[in-house]
Amino acid sequence: MKPHRTRAVVAVSIAAALALAGCSADGSSDSSSGDDLTLSLAASPEEPTSWDPAQAGTGTAYYYQAVYDTLIRAEPDGTYVPSLATEWTYDDTKTVLTMSLRDDVTFTDGSTLDSEVVAGNLERFSGEGGSDSTMLAALASVETPDDATVVLTLSRPDPALIYSLSNSAGFIGSLDAIEAGTIGTDPVGSGPYVLDAAATTVGSKYTFDRTEDYWGEDLPFDSVELQPIQDTAARINALLSGQVNGALLSNASSGQEAAEAGFTHIPSEIDFHGIYIFDREGVDAPALGDERVRQAMNYAIDRDLLVEQAMFGEATATDQIWAKGTLGFNDDYEDYYSFDPDKARALLAEAGYADGFELTMPVVSIFDNTVLTLTQQMLADVGITVNYVDVPIADLFNAYTAGEYPSTFMQYSAGEDWVLINDYIASDANWNPFGASTPESDALVAEYPTASEERQAEIAQELNTIVVEEAWFVPFYRAVQQLYVDDTVTATPQVGEANPTLYSWAPVS
């Protein structure tokens, strides 16, 4: 097995299936209590194991968003706006990024933001081995010419750097707390909220109160509660009973139930669902090393039936992982593999698997049972026996990245092309634990960072062709997110992300 990088994109994948719900502190559906407003969100079950911003990951972003500001902020429409950094510019080589910092930011321990603080945070994020540390894989050095200026020098251009600095890599904590060794258990940031440890119970609820004298614009809620809810039935029941104001439900049947009960749907179509084939070189599962077998798996899937029966029409069938609006998206790959079980059987026989073969795939409680059952039946119909293994959610990320399974079900929010390439396509991609690639794909990935915008579009298209026609994955559909709210709160979806940010929730006036 080739060396590989790790990153908790599991959260981008899993969090799309998790609830985002607002409720009052006493559990009623009213988001207000007197003059105070409390927002409660059912967050990712991947709770933070440390409050150190160097350990921040996509799956725990909501927890960190409450207490830490990022250098750059992404608006709901995907545009980037100032946060702790007021402006940023690249040099002509795209390998030197100069950032100007605010001079009026104070952390909750009384220390102040300056370039040394930012440099210390970035260096630690890059070097501490956190789940998202590869976001700064290209970072070579950080210089601080003055208190308000930070200069990042890269070993190569990184087209996703601004995105990363608006995400996990951009969270900035107090350097005093970091050096004291206390930030892992006592978060000290400059964000809109502070952790209320007395009102927090790990595994149940994390409570945050408004930061006094916050440097930025106050968010509308006086406090925020993040609840790691894992069970699908518990989320829809909480919504229907009035315990919560809103929830991002994990399947369309729950969404249909919410709609029938009068809740409002806030839709967005941002991610693809399907089977990820990790072992494309047949290291542990020899059958998957044959392109014909992977193509047979694609022909075996009735995507329209999945959309109809599992998603109640709330999805678009597709054979590609690139989303609409990205450089790599190709209309021709929306329906490249027709549903053709006979062709699937013929390909399997041609590859030497006329009698079929077995695959073991991990599943967790939030996966849609309808999808699992239908897919298992479709593959069995052509001779592929899929055996499911229940895996605790807390163990899923390590199981994936350690290469314990040759394939799995998953979903992914595909935003910027370079992020997708780094997550899934490159030989050292975050979600390529077996390091599978081809000489052609390796060359295209290596060329992308320094290519012109026109050439980057061509490369993305060429990579998509390789991925689809060589059947690296078995995509099913792009799902419409099942975010439902009552009449007391609302949220604005975030382009390229499964979940709205904390900044995008508001009470209905």
pLDDT above 70: percentage of residues in the chain: 92
* Residues 416, 159: Cα–Cα separation, whole Å: 9
Confidence of residue 250 (pLDDT cuts 50, 70, 90): confident
pLDDT of residue 414: 61
Q: What are phi and psi for residue 210, nearest 5 degrees?
A: -55, 135
Instruction: For the domain made up of 271-479, give the CATH fold.
Output: Dipeptide-binding Protein; domain 3 (3.10.105)
Rounded average pLDDT over 353-372:
91
- Per-residue pLDDT at 417 exceeds 60: yes
Written as six digits, the tokens of 363 are 């599943």
pLDDT of residue 318: 96
Structural domain boundaries in the chain: 10-230+482-507, 271-479
More confident residue, 307 or 30: 307
Of 233-247, 423-437, 453-467, the poorest mean pLDDT is in 233-247
Helix 291-300 × helix 341-350 angle, to 10°: 160
pLDDT of residue 350: 98
Mean pLDDT of the chain: 89
More confident residue, 19 or 192: 192
Nearest residue to 150 via CA among 190, 117, 173, 181: 117
Domains 10-230+482-507 and 271-479 fall in the same CATH topology? no
Of 120-124, 229-233, 405-409, 495-499, the poorest mean pLDDT is in 495-499
Rounded average pLDDT over 186-190:
99
Written as six digits, the tokens of 327 are 């450089």
Arch. (CATH architecture) of 10-230+482-507: 3-Layer(aba) Sandwich (3.40)
Nearest residue to 112 via CA among 174, 36, 61, 157: 174
**Max CA pair span of the chain:** 70
Confidence of residue 241 (pLDDT cuts 50, 70, 90): confident
Asked whether 427 and 436 are in contact (CB, 8 A), the reply is yes
Confidence of residue 58 (pLDDT cuts 50, 70, 90): confident
Pairing label, strands 149-154, 96-101? antiparallel
Nearest residue to 318 via CA among 205, 326, 332, 327: 332
pTM above 0.85, yes or no: no
HSE (side-chain half, CA atoms, 13 Å) at 481: 33
List CB contacts of 500: < 8 A, sequence separation 6 or more. 20, 76, 483, 491, 492, 493, 494
pLDDT above 90: percentage of residues in the chain: 67
pLDDT of residue 40: 84
- Per-residue pLDDT at 284 exceeds 90: yes
